[in-house]
């Protein structure tokens, strides 16, 4: 009986077929990262299904296996960004401090993604798990601070409106209030701009945000006090 050939001894293995290694499976995480990169680089108008598919080096049909529309992509993006907002202070700190830390984190996340603010500010939170988790933590913090349930969402929306506007201010040019040749027409404004002073270590955007946030928190605290008398 002839000897049984042993792999590697007197035999040759079949050569590996040429071609690229298998592509990593496309999924929501890859789609979300690609969408964020696309918007950051080229602006919101660049976020189309065909443009997103091209950036992922896949056919549009492959993309539609995971998301059914641009709205679905935006929901993924919204959820990813909201998941970066730190809400941990609502379980660890007093309410006023927690609101400040949450607002600072919220502003930092969205100041890095300005093109998405007009979209996400109007996007429903339906079926966005991380977004819902964020709002649940904030709402729970308000409830534990004694807020009447019927006033909580209005307070959150008021804070969010301030946060989104402040995110734009982070990216404003340093000379945004320069009056130029109209200096004589606005002497008081021009002088106030020239004398603008900030606490040590604060730039203009940070100082304005801190002042506004302090005022909002104080106003909300007064509202809470009057509501619980």
CA geometry: angle 35, 40, 45, nearest 5 deg: 70
Neighbours of 144 (CB within 10 A): 12
What Cα–Cα distance (Å) separates residue 40 from each residue in 26, 35, 46, 102, 229? 21, 9, 10, 23, 48
- How does pLDDT run across 105-153, given as a tens digit for each residue? 999 999 999 999 998 999 999 989 999 999 999 999 999 999 999 999 9
pTM of the model: 0.82
CATH superfamily of 81-227: Tetracycline Repressor, domain 2 (1.10.357.10)
Confidence class of residue 226 from pLDDT cuts 50, 70 and 90? confident
What confidence score (pLDDT) does residue 24 get? 52
CA distance 135 to 110: 16
Q: 6 has which bridge partners?
A: 9
At residue 196, the 3 state secondary structure works out as coil
Q: Tell me, what's the pLDDT at 21? A: 40
Return the structure tokens found at 129. Answer: 């798990």
Q: What is the DSSP string of 91-140?
A: HHS-HHHHHHHHHHHHHHHHHT-GGGHHHHTTS--TT-HHHHHHHHHHHH
How much is the average pLDDT of 48-70? Answer: 91
Q: How far apart are CA 14 and CA 55, in angstroms?
A: 36
Q: What is the mean pLDDT of the chain?
A: 88
What's the pLDDT at 2? 53
- Considering the four listed CATH numbers 1.10.10.60, 3.40.50.10680, 2.30.30.60, 1.20.140.10, the one that applies to the domain covering 23-68 is 1.10.10.60
182: which residues sit within 8 A by CB, 6+ positions away? none
Domain spans, the chain: 23-68, 81-227
Tell me the backbone φ, ψ of residue 167, rounded to 5 degrees.
Answer: -65, -35
């Amino acid at each position: 009986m002839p000897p049984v050939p042993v792999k590697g001894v007197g035999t040759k293995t079949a050569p590996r077929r040429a071609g690229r290694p298998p592509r990593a499976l496309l999924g929501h995480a890859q789609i979300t990262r690609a969408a964020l990169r696309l918007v950051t680089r080229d602006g919101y108008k660049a976020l189309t299904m065909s443009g997103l598919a091209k950036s992922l080096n896949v056919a549009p049909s492959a993309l539609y296996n995971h998301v059914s529309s641009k709205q679905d992509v935006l929901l993924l993006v919204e959820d990813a960004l909201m998941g970066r907002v730190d809400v941990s202070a609502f379980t660890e700190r007093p309410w006023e401090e927690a609101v400040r830390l949450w607002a600072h984190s919220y502003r930092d996340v969205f100041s890095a993604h300005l093109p998405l603010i007009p979209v996400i500010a109007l996007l429903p939170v339906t079926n966005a798990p991380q977004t819902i988790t964020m709002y649940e933590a904030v709402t729970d913090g308000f409830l534990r601070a004694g807020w009447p349930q019927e006033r909580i969402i209005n307070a959150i929306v008021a804070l969010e409106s301030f946060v989104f506007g402040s995110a734009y201010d982070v990216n404003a040019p340093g000379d945004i209030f320069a009056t130029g040749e109209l200096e004589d027409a606005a002497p008081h404004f021009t002088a106030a701009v020239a004398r603008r002073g900030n606490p040590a270590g604060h730039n203009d955007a940070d100082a304005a945000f801190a002042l506004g946030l302090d005022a909002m928190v104080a106003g909300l605290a007064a509202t809470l006090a009057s509501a619980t008398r």
